[in-house]
A = this chain, B = another copy of it.
Amino acid sequence: MERYEVKLSGSGGQGLILAGMILAEAAALYDGKNAVQTQSYGPESRGGSSSSIVIISNQDIDYPKATKVDVLLALTQESVNKYAGDIKDGGILIVDEETVKDIPAGKYKIYKLPVIATARTQVGKVIVANIVALGLIAGLIELVSIDAIKKALFTRIPKGTEELNFRALEAGINLAKEAHLTVDPNLECISY
A46 within 8 A of B: yes
Binds B, one of A26-34, A88-96, A97-105, A106-114: A26-34
Q: Looking at the complex, which one of B17, B37, B45, B65 makes contact with A41 (CB distance below 8 Å)?
A: B37
Q: Chain B nearest CB: distance from A88 CB in Å?
A: 16
Cα A28 to Cα B27 with chains together (Å): 28
Question: Taking CB as reference atom, which chain B residue is nearest A41?
Answer: B28
Contact of B28 with A43 in the complex, beta carbons under 8 Å: yes
Chain B residues with Cβ below 8 Å from A46 are 29
Question: Taking CB as reference atom, which chain B residue is nearest A67?
Answer: B64
A70 within 8 A of B: no
Q: Looking at the complex, which one of B21, B27, B43, B65 makes contact with A29 (CB distance below 8 Å)?
A: B43
Cα A37 to Cα B17 with chains together (Å): 11
Contact of A40 with B64 in the complex, beta carbons under 8 Å: no
Chain B residues with Cβ below 8 Å from A43 are 28-29, 32-34
Q: Looking at the complex, which one of B42, B61, B66 makes contact with A40 (CB distance below 8 Å)?
A: B61
Question: Taking CB as reference atom, which chain B residue is nearest A56?
Answer: B41
Q: Chain B nearest CB: distance from A142 CB in Å?
A: 20
A169 within 8 A of B: no
A63 within 8 A of B: yes
Cα A170 to Cα B35 with chains together (Å): 33
The 3 residue pairs across chains A and B that have the minimum distance between CB atoms: A28-B41, A64-B66, A38-B38
